[in-house]
Every structure is written in C-alpha cells, then in structure tokens.
Amino acid sequence: MSTSLRSDAPVVSPTVALGVAVLAVSTSAILVDLSGAPSLVKAFYRVAFTLALVAPLAVARHPRAFGRLSTRDLLGATLAGTALAVHFGTWFESLRWTSVAASVTLVQAQPVFVALGAFLVLDERFSRRMAAGIAVALAGMVVMSAGEFLSGAAVAGARPLYGDALALVGAVTAAVYVLAGRSLRQRVPLLPYVTVVYAVCAVVLLGLVVGAGHPLGGYPREEWLLFAAMALGPGLFGHTVLNWALGHVESSVVSVSLLGEPVGSTLLAVVVLAEFPTAATVGGGAVVLAGIYLTASDRRATTDAATTEQATTE
C-alpha cells in the first residue's frame, strides 16, 4: 500500500482513526489472556474469523486479483502465512507464561528483526540510527527478562523467561512474514493479499491444532465470543483501520503510533486482569520501546515496508 498522503480529505480524521486502532489492538493480549482455550485453538479461530470477514470484501472488490497470482506469488504467500501461523501460536502461548507488558513489548519488536533480516538476507544498507536502535532494543530485552527472573515478583504465569522467549519467537516470525510477503504485497492489493495469507495461516494452524489433539468444538459460549472479539477488535477495527490510515498519513506516524500498543495493553492488564508489571518490566520495556522507535523512525524503504505489513499482523 502506498504511504503517500492522499489529496482528498478523509471523512474520518486519521488522528482519531489511529487512536481507535491503537486502542483496539491493545485489547488483543487481554482477550487472549481471558480465554481459557489452548493457545493454538485461540490462534486458529482468531485467524479463521478474520478470514471470514475479509474474504468476501476481497472477492467483491478485487475479483480478478486471485486469478493473477503466479506460482511464485503462491509460494511467497505460503511462506508468509506459515510464518504468521507460528507468530500467532508462539505469541498467544507466551501470554500464559509471562506478563502482558513483557509479552506485548517483546513481540512489538518486529521492526528490529525486520531491519536485521533485511540486512542479513536481502543485503540492504544499515544506517547508524537503525544499528543504534537495535542495540538499545536488545539491551532493553535483556534488562526486562533478567529483571523478571531475578525479582521473583508475581507475574502472569510461572515461567517468565520461557514466555519472553516465546514472545521473541513471535517477533522474529512476524519479521519473516513481513520479509516473505514484501514483494507480493507490492503487486497484490491489500485485501486479496491478506485473504490468501490468512487462508494459508488458518490451514497451518488447523493442522497444528489437530496434530496437538486439541478439540475444535465443545467450548462454552464465552469462549466463542472471545474468539469473535479477537477478530473484530484487534483484527478489523485495529489493523484494518491502521492499513486505512497508511493511505492518509506517513508510515512513520503509524509506526510510532503502534508503540502505544504495549502501553495500552499494560494499562488494560492492570484494570482488567489486576496484573501489575514489575519495575524491571517497566524500565526494560521503556528501553525496548526507545530502541524500536529509533529503528522504526528511520525513513528507509525497510521501515516503510515493515510498517505496512505490521498493520496486518497480531
């Protein structure tokens, strides 16, 4: 999606839309935490319900886009969808073992790993600002995780280091999703793109659910409402609105706005879950966010692509 500003004035203020979107995505971790279903089941229904929402729109608005997909496009979509499935599965599971504040902050470090991947795999240039941002973010991650382990304070779950590691895997696989889908996203409109990728993601997650022996049905009504809320809130009103905002404001504005998600999720966790982050989590998280800001605010092509694709995840 182009990140250039449109000449026509939008009906809704992009600033207001960004505020609504950040609030919506901030509920994602809370909804996941409230659900008692297995993590893979939550991830599957989150993606499946979102797919059910976007697929009809994609077919109606871009009926010919699917027939134009080449074998290379389908392979790229398969890799992106598989990476996205691992992202959802590992991040959702991380919320069982570590605090919302730590999990959301670490998984939000996606731009750091996108920049590293683009440098190592795609041989893209590395600015000093990006290098500094990555170093700061990594230092913050060490402070956060070590502090949680040493403090012994009550955090969500009994194994914070394990949960933090899962959240980092979620961030890395989200970066793989971004890099795998970058060229495809430049050729395919947004709705057909996410439809194909979400379809692959749903199939992979379904296979993991069945392979793990988790039941697909038999959950109480409250669980189905939470599954639907994950798709409607963070999915539709969160990342869909963020994608709309990318057509009206600079990508760097959206990227920096996404740093509000860990803050919003942490505050909601305090109110809804009575989960108070440790001093190490708050301090280390602030350092991580500063590093992400330095990395994501670099105006190179890597950041623009990462911001565009980041608005379709979680």
Across 79-98, average pLDDT: 94
**What is the model's pTM?**
0.84
Taking the alpha carbons of 284, 95, 277, 240 in that order, is the dihedral positive or negative?
positive
Residue 230 pLDDT exceeds 80: yes
What is the largest distance, in Å, between two alpha-carbon atoms of the chain? 56
272 in Cβ contact with 114 (< 8 Å)? no
Residue 287 amino acid letter: V
Higher pLDDT pick, 8 / 252: 252
Closest CA to 138 of 254, 284, 19: 284
Q: Please, which pLDDT band fits residue 298 given cuts at 50, 70 and 90? A: low
For residue range 13-42, list pLDDT tens digits in order: 878 888 888 899 999 999 999 999 999 999
Higher pLDDT pick, 126 / 57: 57
State the pLDDT at residue 231: 94
State the pLDDT at residue 155: 52
Across the chain, what does the average pLDDT equal?
Answer: 83
State the pLDDT at residue 6: 44
